[in-house]
Structures are given as structure tokens and as C-alpha cells.
Structure 1
Amino acid sequence: MERTAWALLLCHVFLSLFGLAGIAIMVPHPEIWSDWGVIASLFPLALAQGGNFQIILGAAAVLAFGTVIAGRRAMLIFFSVAVTLSLMFELTGTSFGWPFGNYEYTDLFGFKIMGKVPPVIPLSWFSMGFSAFAVATALIRTWSGSTRLWPSILLGSAMLVAWDMVLDPAMSHPDLLLQYWVWEDVGPYLGVPIVNFFGWMATGMIFMAVSAYLDQGLRPISDDQGTFFLIMYICNLLFAAGICLGNEIWVPAAIGLGLASAVMLAWFWPALRPTMLSSDA
């Protein structure tokens, strides 16, 4: 199961790089690849299905590795709660504008549940939600020694919001040639309403807290176990930041690169600290 999880993660990373090249380079500059024969003919299909496969592989990887470290019951509970609650909130959001504001998904993801939400969207909530939760628990355990879950839930939810601050402009900015969703309520953050980020924070906190309450297997994760989820989180953060860079959307690109650097520094600094102290002595 662990080897399968790593294989799935590598496939997810590869598709993320492929998708980044497609959205950030090939779409804005068709003159680069339009004469490439077979590649040019397959590009529309890859563009239509690549995002779905990227998200599915990521969710499968997180589910598989999470099962190894937390147990089957805990992961099935987290998966079920995250997918169910996020789908419910996405449906209310696309129907009534609550809790994220008024928006709608375009047809780039294909089929939509009830004509509103692509099935891969709840899977993305699950994979990034658990990855953020896992990284948060490992960071808090490493830096403070605390095994309480509420700090991890708060930090994990904040990490979800921070990711969305990079992802949303990368997927919906009005200047993009490809928009995966569009905002009817235009807000001050590059067209995104501020209420969206409160909705993300609340959604993450709710499904993390409910999952932790239903199963005690969701306990703080050590840094060696959490490396898998760190890669997952950083990969998707840099994917969104790369799209923003390729399309010259500078603010979320800077946020993404800064956040990735901060998380990596917080993750690896404690491992370096004993060596530095000993050398100073």
C-alpha cells in the first residue's frame, strides 16, 4: 500500500508539471506547439481530462498513504466527511452563494453533479484538506510538542485558505484564457470576494473537527510520516503559483512562493537546529 501511494503521488506530481506547462505556457503561446503533429492533436484531450486525472491521482495517493499511517477506518471517515461536507457547501455556494459567494464552474472539468459541481472538486477538498491537516499536526508537534488537535485544525484550515489565495486567481482570474470557475460576486482580491476565504476556513475546520471527533485515529503525525503530505501540499501550492507566474498575476504568485518557502523552512529547520547548536558550542 505504501509503495502504491508513492507511485500515485509521483504520477500526480508529473501530471501537475504537465498541467502547469500546458496552462502557463502552451495555452498562452500556441505558436510554440501548434506544428508538433501528434502532440498538437492530443493537446485538447489532455487539457480536457488532465485536471480530472491530476486530482483523482492525488486523492488516491492521500487515501492510500493515510490508510498506512492512520488506519483504514480513520481515513474512510475523513474521506467520507470531507467529500460529503465540501460537496454540500459547494452545491449551496453555486446555488445560493453561501458560504463562498456567488460563482459557477465552467465546462472545463466536464460532468457536474446536479449541473453545478464537478465530482473532482470534493476529491480535491479531501486530498488537500488531509494533507494540510497532516502537515499542520507534524509542524505543531515538532515545534511545540503539543498533541492537541485544535491547534492542528486551526493551522490546517489556515493552510487551506492560503492555498486558495493562490489557486483561485490561477483558476478564475478574468485575464486567463482558461477559467475553471467564474465569480458572479466580484471581490477586491483579484476578483475574488473576501467571504470566499471565510467560507474556506469554516469548511476546513468543520470537516477536520468532525472527522477527528468521529475517530481517535486522527492524531498528530510525526514529521517522517508527514513528508508524503508535505510533498502533496507544496506540489499543489507551486502548481497554482506557477500558473500565476506564467500569466503575470504577481500577487498570488508571490504569496504561493513565500508560503512554500515558509512551510519548508518550518519543516526542516528543527532538524538542522541541533547540528547548528552543537557547532556553535
Structure 2
Amino acid sequence: MGRNKDEHGRAGRRRPGAWGLAGGGLLVGMVGAQVVSGVRPRPVKLTSVVVGLLGGSAGAFLAGRHGARRAAGAFGAATALGYAAEWVGVRAGVPFGRYSYTPVLRPQAGGVPVIVAVAWGGMGPAAHAAATEIVPGGGPARWAVGAAALTAWDLFLDPQMLRLGLWTWEGGGPYRGVPVSNFAGWFAVSLLLMAVVEASAGRTAPPASGGLLTIYTVMAAMETLAFAAVFDPPDRLVAAAGGAAMGTFAALAWRARWRR
């Protein structure tokens, strides 16, 4: 039993192959695009580039951990679920609340920018990787932690996208114009997304993909820095709220990984 556990741990931490190297390269490219977008006067033009690199990196790391077929299934399912939730959301006002996308992000399908679905597909598996380290047993407890970790990202995402004029909320809300219903909806959709990712990729014991966990950590760090010091004007409330939330999940995941 102990020998099998050791072998599984070594397999999860093996040197990166071609998929791992591709994922790392795309992640570096995403960081570079984020840096450039942070200092440009019109950063929205690079939004699709950043998200596209995020999605590519997550897909590559998924393939390195679970194989290309399972990775395609997990990424595709997460992307499709995210799109479906947004498609329903802009029409019915559930599960997030009443909102709509502006014409800025293109292409759009049914009033939803395609790149938004890719963002769900990229960050969903990254949040699931964090939850895999924190909750080794899998199942509903892991899904709940992963859903909370993904919802923590939206503490950054929604205020940033509102700044850029990418979507609008009907009636606003108490958190930088975002209603509380949005976060409840994010958690509900994210909970289902975690179950879908786990079913598609396979219910695995930790260690999770180190690349996916790195994506989650990098996003937490870069968004915190951006809101604290890079954006003009900065927003230290969002930096503190999002940084504390995402940082907690990232720290717990790495701690569990290093102690295992």
C-alpha cells in the first residue's frame, strides 16, 4: 500500500514531457501578455490573447496529467458548461443576476463572447487542481472546495471586466457594482463544473497537475499586484479581497502538496 502511494506520488511529480513544456511555454506567454496589457493604455485588445493562452496552457497541462483524450473531454466539457451558463444568464438573469455583454469582445455566439467560455475552460481545471490537493478523497467535498476556489477568482474578474466595459450589471451591486447574486451563481455553476471536470478527466488522487496549480497561483499573484499597484487608479479593496481568497486556496494546496 505504501509502495503504491509512493509510486503514484513519483508519477505525479515526474519531469514534464512535451505537454508539460508546451503548457509552461504558454503560461509564460500569458504572463507576458498580462504584463503588456497592464501597461498599455488600451489593455482590452489583449484580453482575448491572455485568455487564449490561459486556455491553451491549461489544456496542455491537463493532457500531460491525464492524456490528450481525457484532457480534451475535460476542457471541452468545462468550456461548454461555462458557455451554457452564460447563454442562459444573459437571457434569463439566472443564475448570476441580470447582466449583458457589450460588443467589445468578439466573436460572440448568442450574445456571449467565445473567449468567456474559454476562460471557464482554463480556470475551471486549475481550481479543480487546487481542490485535489486540499481534498484528497474527491467527490462532493472536493467539488465544493474547487467551486469556492473558482468563485474566488471572480472577486478579481468582475471588477476588472466592468472597468474595461466588457459587460454591465442591471442595477449594480455592493461589491464594486457587482450583485451578491453573481457570486452565488458562480458557486453553483462552479460546483457543477468541478463534477464535470472530475468525471471527464477521471477521479484521481493527489498530487494534481503542478502546472494547473501553478496557473491558479500565478493568476492570484498577478491579479493582486495589478489591482494593488498597476491599474490606474488602483483598487486595494479588490486586491485585498481577491488576493486573500485566491491566496488562501493556493497556499493550502501547495502546503498539502509539499507535505505529502
TM-score by length of 1: 0.77
Q: Which residue of 1 aligns with 2:62?
A: 66
> How far apart in 1 are the matches of 2:34 and 2:205?
28
> How far apart in 2 are the matches of 1:210 and 1:92?
18
Corresponding residue SS for 1:120: helix
- Superposed counterparts of 1:197-276, under 5 Å: 197-213=183-199, 215=200, 217-222=202-207, 225-245=208-228, 246=231, 247-269=233-255
Question: Over the residues paired in the alignment, what is the CA RMSD in angstroms?
Answer: 2.2
- Superposed counterparts of 1:1-281, under 5 Å: 1-22=19-40, 27=41, 47-114=43-110, 116-141=111-136, 147-172=137-162, 176=163, 178-213=164-199, 215=200, 217-222=202-207, 225-245=208-228, 246=231, 247-269=233-255
> How far apart in 2 are the matches of 1:271 and 1:118?
36
> How far apart in 1 are the matches of 2:53 and 2:139?
28
Matched to 1:80, the amino acid is G
**Which structure: larger Rg?**
1
1:30-76, Cα deviation, whole Å (9 max, x unpaired): xxxxxxxxxxxxxx5xx453111111111111111101111223222
Identity %: 27
Contact persistence 1:129–1:204 (CA under 8 A) = yes
TM-score by length of 2: 0.83
Q: 1:111 and 1:65, CA in 2 relative to 1: closer, same or farther beyond 3 A?
A: same
> How far apart in 1 are the matches of 2:68 and 2:256?
31
| Unpaired stretches in structure 1, ≥5 consecutive residues | 28-43, 142-146, 275-281
Q: CA deviation at 1:216?
A: 6.3
Corresponding residue SS for 2:100: strand
Matched to 2:122, the amino acid is S
Corresponding residue SS for 2:108: coil
> How far apart in 2 are the matches of 1:242 and 1:106?
27
Q: CA deviation at 1:273?
A: 6.6
Contact persistence 2:62–2:209 (CA under 8 A) = no
> How far apart in 2 are the matches of 1:233 and 1:204?
15
Q: How many residues align?
A: 239
Corresponding residue SS for 1:98: coil
**Higher mean C-alpha displacement, 11-20 vs 240-249:** 240-249
Q: 1:148 and 1:184, CA in 2 relative to 1: closer, same or farther beyond 3 A?
A: same
| Unpaired stretches in structure 2, ≥5 consecutive residues | 1-18
